[in-house]
C-alpha cells in the first residue's frame, strides 16, 4: 500500500468524509492556483521545519495565502532559529518528497517526533485541502476532521498565530 492509500484508509477507518480531486502534479501554491483548485483558498500551506540543531522537527500548517514568517513562528513555538528541513529529513520523518508535504503525512512518523502546529486562522475554515502525500491529488475535509485525523496518529495539534 502506498502513502496515499494509507492516508485514505485511515480516513475511512475514522469515518471521516472527504472529497479527493486528482490533478496534474502541483508542487507549489501557485501551481494549485493555476489549476483552479484553490479558488476558495482552502488548500493549506504545509511547512516542514527544523530547529537550528536539528533536534526538533515541526510541521506548520497555514492558510494557503499566508506568508511564512519563520521568525514569528519561532517565537510562537519557543524554538531556536528555524529552517526548512532537507529532502533527506522529509523522507526520514514523513516519507515524502518536496512538493508533497502534508499534515496528513504525520501518519508516517512512527517515532512521533514531528510536532504539529496549525495557524489559528485555520479554525475559521469550513474545509481544508491537503495533498495525500502525493502532489497529483488533493483531499478536502472539514477542519475538525483534519484535527481528528492528526490526533489519531498520537499527536496533539497546537495552535499558533502567524
Rounded to two decimals, the pTM is: 0.92
Q: Which domains does the chain have, with CATH numbers?
A: 3-160 (3.90.960.10)
Average pLDDT over residues 3-18: 93
Confidence of residue 2 (pLDDT cuts 50, 70, 90): low
Write down the mean pLDDT value for the chain: 91
Q: Residue 13 and residue 6: Cα distance in Å, rounded?
A: 10
Q: Is the pLDDT of residue 107 over 70?
A: yes
- The predicted structure's pLDDT at residue 4: 85
Average pLDDT over residues 38-65: 89
Amino acid at each position: 500500500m502506498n502513502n496515499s492509500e494509507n492516508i485514505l484508509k485511515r480516513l475511512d477507518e475514522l469515518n471521516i468524509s472527504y472529497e479527493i480531486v486528482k490533478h496534474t502534479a502541483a508542487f507549489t501554491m501557485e501551481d494549485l492556483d493555476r489549476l483552479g483548485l484553490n479558488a476558495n483558498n482552502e488548500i493549506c500551506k504545509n511547512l516542514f521545519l527544523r530547529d537550528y540543531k536539528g533536534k526538533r522537527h515541526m510541521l506548520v500548517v497555514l492558510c494557503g495565502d499566508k506568508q511564512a514568517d519563520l521568525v514569528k513562528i519561532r517565537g510562537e513555538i519557543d524554538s531556536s532559529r528555524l529552517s526548512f528541513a532537507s529532502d533527506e529529513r522529509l523522507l526520514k520523518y514523513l516519507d515524502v518528497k518536496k512538493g508533497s508535504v502534508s499534515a496528513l503525512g504525520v501518519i508516517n512518523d512512527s517515532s512521533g517526533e514531528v510536532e504539529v502546529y496549525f495557524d489559528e486562522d485555520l479554525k475559521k475554515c469550513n474545509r481544508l485541502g491537503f495533498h495525500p502525500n502525493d502532489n497529483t491529488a488533493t483531499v478536502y475535509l472539514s477542519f475538525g476532521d483534519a484535527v481528528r485525523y492528526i490526533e489519531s496518529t498520537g499527536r496533539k495539534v497546537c495552535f499558533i498565530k502567524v
